[in-house]
Amino acid sequence: MPYDYDLITIGGGSGGVRASRMSANFGARVALIEERQLGGTCVNVGCIPKKLLSYAAHYADDFTDAGGFGWSVGSRDFDWARLIANKDREIARLNGVYARLLSDAGVAVIEARGRLIDAHTVQAGERTLTARHILVATGGWPVVPQIPGAELAITSNEAFHLARLPARAVVVGGGYIAMEFASIFNGLGVKTTLVYRGRQLLRGFDRELGQVLAEEMAQKGIEILLDSNIERIERKSGALAAQFASGETRETDLVMYATGRAPNTRGLGLEEAGVTLAANGALKVDDFFRSSVPSVYAIGDVIDRIQLTPVATAEGTLLANTLFNNSPRRMDYDNVPTAVFSHPNVATVGLGEDEARKRYGEVEVYAARFRPLRATLSGSAERVFMKLVVDRKTDRVLGAHMVGADAGEVIQGFAVALKCGATKAQFDATVGIHPTGAEEFVTMRTPRPAPAG
**Tens digits of per-residue pLDDT, 71-112?**
998 888 999 999 999 999 999 999 999 999 999 999 999 999
Contact (CB, 8 A) for 36 and 46 = no
Do 292 and 250 belong together in one domain? no
pLDDT given for residue 302 in this prediction = 97
**Total tally of structural domains belonging to the chain:** 3
What is the full DSSP assignment across 306-358?
A: ---HHHHHHHHHHHHHHHHSS-------TT--EEE-SSS-EEEEE--HHHHHH
Q: Does the residue 451 lie in any domain?
A: no
Q: Does the residue 339 lie in any domain?
A: no
pLDDT given for residue 306 in this prediction = 95
Of the three residues 259, 278, 309, the one that is the final residue of a domain is 259
Strand partners, 296: 134
Confidence of residue 452 (pLDDT cuts 50, 70, 90): low
Kindly state the helix (H) or strand (E) to which residue 6 belongs, with its residue range.
strand 5-10
Do 282 and 252 belong together in one domain? no
Residue 451 has pLDDT above 70, yes or no: yes
Name residues whose C-beta falls within 8 Å of residue 158's C-beta, 6 or more positions apart in sequence.
Answer: none
Q: Does the residue 171 lie in any domain?
A: yes
Do 359 and 381 belong together in one domain? yes
For the domain that residue 405 is a member of, what is the CATH number?
3.30.390.30
What is the full DSSP assignment across 207-256?
A: HHHHHHHHHHHHHTT-EEE-S--EEEEEEETTEEEEEETTS-EEEES-EE
The dihedral over CA atoms of 431, 433, 437, 440, expressed in degrees to the nearest 10, equals: 10
pLDDT given for residue 453 in this prediction = 59
Do 86 and 161 belong together in one domain? no
Q: Does the residue 448 lie in any domain?
A: no
Q: Does the residue 334 lie in any domain?
A: no
> Which region, left, alpha or beta, applies to residue 136 given φ > 0 means left and ψ of -120 to 50 means alpha?
beta
Please give the residue range of the domain that contains residue 172: 150-259
Q: Does the residue 82 lie in any domain?
A: yes
Residues identified as active-site: 434
Do 189 and 247 belong together in one domain? yes
Q: Does the residue 29 lie in any domain?
A: yes
**Tens digits of per-residue pLDDT, 265-310?**
999 999 999 999 999 999 999 999 999 999 999 999 999 999 999 9
Percentage of the chain with pLDDT > 70?
A: 99
Do 190 and 268 belong together in one domain? no
Q: Does the residue 337 lie in any domain?
A: no
Of the three residues 259, 284, 305, the one that is the final residue of a domain is 259
Do 125 and 274 belong together in one domain? yes
For the domain that residue 237 is a member of, what is the CATH number?
3.50.50.60
Q: How large is the average pLDDT for residues 227-240?
A: 94
Of the three residues 225, 259, 293, the one that is the final residue of a domain is 259
Do 89 and 165 belong together in one domain? no
Q: How large is the average pLDDT for residues 164-193?
A: 97
Do 42 and 104 belong together in one domain? yes
* Among the ranges given (182-186, 289-293, 378-382), the one the predictor scored with the smallest mean pLDDT: 378-382
Does the global pTM surpass 0.85? yes
Do 137 and 55 belong together in one domain? yes
Contact (CB, 8 A) for 116 and 268 = yes
Percentage of the chain with pLDDT > 90?
A: 97
> Which region, left, alpha or beta, applies to residue 378 given φ > 0 means left and ψ of -120 to 50 means alpha?
alpha
**Tens digits of per-residue pLDDT, 391-410?**
999 999 999 999 999 999 99
Do 173 and 106 belong together in one domain? no
Do 18 and 121 belong together in one domain? yes
